[in-house]
């Protein structure tokens, strides 16, 4: 049995892709593909989070269930598997657990978009979920080709890792794991991004029922994201007893004008865009 781990990346319509899987779970099973999400979720996010805690039982349980159903393939989908790009040891343990549970081959599938657009969309998304210093994150992304963002204690995932230098980091990941690594172009989005993951399993994506626009995780408006960043930082400062005038001044630091955000996106594309295009030629 073939296991495909759809590992995002984030902000490549992975939520929409997961809604496609949920909506067509029975139809895909009839065609030999297991796509069951984790309990009360649209994707396999809990499974991904547990791998970061070195608990691979959920991966094994999905593979075992697909084998019990006598299906030819299992497809697990969560953008939170993206963090494993930078932790190939755990990725290899995922593979080991899957093989022991009955998988005979393993594929890691990544959907990739222009790094500048990724950063812009990601910064807006994270503004409502965690503290993110936009300028600091930009500098780290340009310098290292990756960004790590921490969440509040006692919540999962404890952190996320995001990849922008695809060629460097994904090439290293591909060399470190045993399974095949495949790349999918976010701009190849008809009938939906990453549709070729399903096509490669022998199912015509155009034959599937397509969710409505409500299934998309739409990007926040820039002003909303900006206000979110200011509010999060203000809350941290106020809890530390910082004066109101200082809180307001620090809040101004979090307001990045739209034209500077455009410059940031362009800089990321200049830095890493060629590497993305080279990777996509491997499709």
pLDDT tens-digit map of 14-45:
999 999 999 999 999 999 999 999 998 999 99
The mean pLDDT value for 111-115 works out to 98
Say what the pLDDT of residue 218 is. 80
Residue 283 has pLDDT above 60, yes or no: no
The Cα–Cα gap between 11 and 26 comes to 26
The mean pLDDT value for 273-279 works out to 96
Confidence band, pLDDT 50/70/90 cuts, at residue 153: low
Residue 52, token pair as written in the block:
């970061």
Say what the pLDDT of residue 154 is. 65
Buried b (16+ CB within 10 A) or exposed e, 131-147: bbebeebbebbbeebbb
The mean pLDDT value for 198-209 works out to 98
Mean pLDDT of the chain: 95
Residue 282 has pLDDT above 80, yes or no: no
Say what the pLDDT of residue 67 is. 97
Q: Which residues pair with 162 in a beta bridge?
A: 147
- The answer to whether the beta carbons of residues 178 and 88 sit under 8 Å apart is no
Residue 56, token pair as written in the block:
């691979």
The Cα–Cα gap between 158 and 130 comes to 11
Say what the pLDDT of residue 129 is. 85
Say what the pLDDT of residue 128 is. 86
Q: Which residues contact 225 (CB under 8 A, 6 or more apart)?
A: 123, 124, 127, 128
Say what the pLDDT of residue 190 is. 96
- The answer to whether the beta carbons of residues 93 and 56 sit under 8 Å apart is yes
pLDDT 10s digits, 53-107 = 999 999 999 999 999 999 999 999 999 999 999 999 999 999 999 999 999 999 9
The mean pLDDT value for 196-220 works out to 92
The Cα–Cα gap between 28 and 130 comes to 36
Residue 271 has pLDDT above 70, yes or no: yes
The Cα–Cα gap between 52 and 159 comes to 9
Residue 152 has pLDDT above 80, yes or no: no
The Cα–Cα gap between 118 and 13 comes to 11
């Amino acid at each position: 049995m073939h296991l495909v781990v759809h590992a995002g990346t984030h902000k490549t319509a992975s939520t929409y892709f997961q809604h496609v899987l949920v909506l067509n779970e029975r139809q895909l099973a009839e065609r030999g593909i297991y796509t069951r999400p984790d309990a009360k979720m649209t994707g396999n996010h809990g499974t991904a989070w547990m791998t970061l805690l070195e608990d691979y039982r959920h991966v094994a349980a999905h593979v075992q269930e697909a084998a019990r159903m006598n299906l030819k393939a299992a497809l697990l989908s969560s953008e939170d598997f993206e963090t494993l790009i930078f932790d190939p040891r755990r990725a290899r343990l995922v593979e080991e657990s899957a093989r022991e549970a009955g998988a005979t081959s393993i594929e890691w599938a990544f959907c990739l978009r222009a790094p500048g657009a990724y950063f812009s969309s990601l910064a807006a998304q994270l503004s409502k979920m965690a503290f993110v210093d936009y300028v600091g994150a930009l500098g780290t992304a340009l310098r290292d080709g990756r960004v790590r963002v921490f969440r509040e204690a006692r919540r999962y995932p404890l952190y996320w890792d995001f990849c922008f230098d695809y060629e460097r980091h994904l090439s290293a990941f591909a060399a470190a794991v045993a399974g095949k690594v495949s790349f999918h172009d976010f701009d190849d989005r008809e009938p939906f991004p990453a549709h070729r993951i399903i096509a490669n399993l022998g199912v015509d994506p155009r034959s599937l029922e397509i969710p409505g626009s409500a299934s998309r995780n739409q990007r926040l408006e820039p002003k909303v994201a900006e206000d979110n960043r200011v509010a999060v930082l203000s809350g941290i400062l106020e809890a530390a007893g910082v004066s109101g005038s200082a809180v307001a001044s620090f809040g101004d630091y979090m307001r990045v004008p739209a034209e500077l955000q455009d410059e940031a996106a362009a800089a990321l594309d200049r830095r890493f865009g060629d590497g993305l295009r080279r990777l996509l030629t491997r499709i």
